[in-house]
């Protein structure tokens, strides 16, 4: 029982740390018009306490992210340590902090909150008996639509990953959640398709320029920056865990690569390539309409790196779990270092 309560206290500590910026948070000037934000905006106007309502809203996003990521990783990992560290890395992901506390892109942060929940439901779609699959399909479809309504770019990326996963695992049932999800998303999908192929919506002054200059350089990944030019780094704790995983893969005598890590590694690798400044998005735009409008709406390739945060966090948790099996005498020391690196970087950026 003692270890169970200690486990909950660790999660509570993570939540407290990621909420620290709310102490000095001031509402940024952001132009989000997402449907999901109408609720808190309406309450703010009625109550006349905009900043306080916003703080509560952001706290709920952080709490929701903790719950959804915890649900996913407790399903994925055999050990509590692997699940905790994967959750820790996702919660302290610099990109999420950048969205919430600097850029004010709360709708995208909501999409990243819902992303682990969708993956958790998709796992059940793949694994449950056929007579029960419809329940998980409908639930996953509803969450997919919520992700797409929050941020259409994340929604499109998620749909692509679902398609690839069905081919990867050779199970057509993985495509099932897309059907109810796309049906629920039809109103916004129609507007997007109309803009891509017909045009219009000039009143929103939507961007059409090149996005290549807004991408990452390789060295930028290896930082814990959160508020630098819209290109946050990977985080110190997660970087350390990934170094552990790569090191064990190359030199670990008792290391065994888990098959469950292969697909997330591929997804993370592809997304990080797409986020690079050298990826030829300009060539895509030269294909003409609708590609110019489609790429222009992405605004920054950083969104691909943000999407990669979930599979990278899973790989980081796998690295900690694998190290615990291979080096049992050193695991506690390394775990403490990773916790201090993740939480320490978050606290520093919160008070800096």
Residue 164, class by beta-carbon neighbours within 10 Å (0-12 exposed, 13-18 middle, 19+ buried)? middle
Query: Which pLDDT belongs to residue 15?
Result: 94
Whether residue 5 is contained in a domain is answered as: no
Full domain range(s) for residue 312: 13-26+34-351
Residues with Cβ within 8 Å of 124's Cβ and at least 6 positions away in sequence, in order, are: 136, 140
Helix-strand-coil split of the chain, %, nearest 5: 75, 0, 20
**Residue 143, both tokens:** 């969450």
Tell if the pTM clears 0.85, that is, is over it: yes
Whether residue 45 is contained in a domain is answered as: yes
Contact 253, 325 (CB under 8 A): no
CA distance 348 to 203: 40
Whether residue 272 is contained in a domain is answered as: yes
Whether residue 7 is contained in a domain is answered as: no
Whether residue 4 is contained in a domain is answered as: no
* Residue 276, beta-bridge partner list: 216
Contact 271, 307 (CB under 8 A): yes
Q: How many residues does the chain have?
A: 352
CA distance 142 to 147: 9
Whether residue 92 is contained in a domain is answered as: yes
Whether residue 1 is contained in a domain is answered as: no
Contact 57, 40 (CB under 8 A): yes
**Ranges in the chain, pLDDT < 50:** 1, 31, 40-41, 43-48
Q: How many Å is the Cα radius of gyration of the chain?
A: 20
Contact 81, 244 (CB under 8 A): no
Specify the DSSP class assigned to residue 72.
H
Query: Which pLDDT belongs to residue 38?
Result: 52
Note the maximum CA span of the chain: 63
Whether residue 8 is contained in a domain is answered as: no
CA distance 320 to 341: 14
pLDDT digits (tens, 9 = 90+) for 237-270: 999 999 989 888 887 666 777 888 899 999 999 9
CA distance 326 to 344: 26
CA distance 76 to 197: 40
Placement of tokens 């069905």 in the chain: 166
Number of domains the chain is built from = 1
Query: Which pLDDT belongs to residue 180?
Result: 95
Cα dihedral angle (205, 206, 208, 211), rounded to 10 degrees? 120
């Amino acid at each position: 029982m003692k270890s169970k309560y200690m486990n909950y206290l660790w999660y509570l500590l993570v939540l407290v740390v990621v909420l620290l910026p709310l102490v000095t948070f001031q509402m940024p000037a952001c132009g989000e018009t997402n449907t999901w934000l109408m609720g808190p905006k309406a309450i703010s106007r009625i109550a006349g306490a905009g900043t306080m309502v916003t703080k509560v809203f952001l706290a709920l996003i952080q709490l929701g992210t903790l719950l959804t990521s915890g649900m996913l990783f407790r399903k994925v990992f055999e050990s509590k340590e692997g699940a905790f560290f994967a959750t820790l890395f996702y919660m302290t992901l610099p990109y999420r902090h950048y969205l919430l506390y600097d850029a004010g892109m709360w709708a995208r942060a909501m999409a990243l909150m819902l992303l682990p929940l969708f993956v958790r439901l998709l796992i059940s779609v793949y694994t449950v008996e056929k007579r029960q699959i419809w329940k998980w399909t409908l639930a996953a479809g509803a969450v997919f639509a919520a992700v797409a309504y929050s941020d259409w770019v994340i929604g499109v990326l998620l749909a692509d990953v679902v398609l690839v996963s069905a081919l990867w695992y050779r199970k057509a049932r993985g495509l099932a959640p897309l059907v109810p999800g796309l049906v629920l998303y039809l109103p916004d999908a129609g507007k997007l398709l109309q803009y891509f192929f017909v045009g219009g919506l000039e009143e929103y002054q939507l961007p059409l320029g090149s996005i290549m200059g807004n991408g990452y350089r390789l060295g930028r990944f290896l930082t814990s920056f959160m508020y630098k030019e819209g290109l946050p780094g990977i985080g110190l704790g997660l970087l350390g865990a990934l170094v552990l995983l790569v090191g064990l893969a190359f030199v670990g005598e008792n290391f065994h690569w888990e098959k469950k890590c292969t697909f997330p590694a591929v997804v993370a690798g592809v997304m990080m390539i797409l986020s690079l400044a050298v990826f030829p998005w300009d060539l895509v735009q030269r294909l003409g309409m609708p590609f110019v409008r489609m790429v222009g709406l992405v605004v920054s390739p950083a969104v691909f790196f943000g999407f990669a945060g979930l599979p990278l966090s899973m790989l980081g948790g796998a690295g900690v779990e694998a190290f615990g099996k291979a080096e049992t005498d050193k695991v506690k020391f390394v775990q403490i270092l990773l916790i201090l690196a993740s939480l320490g970087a978050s606290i520093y950026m919160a008070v800096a």
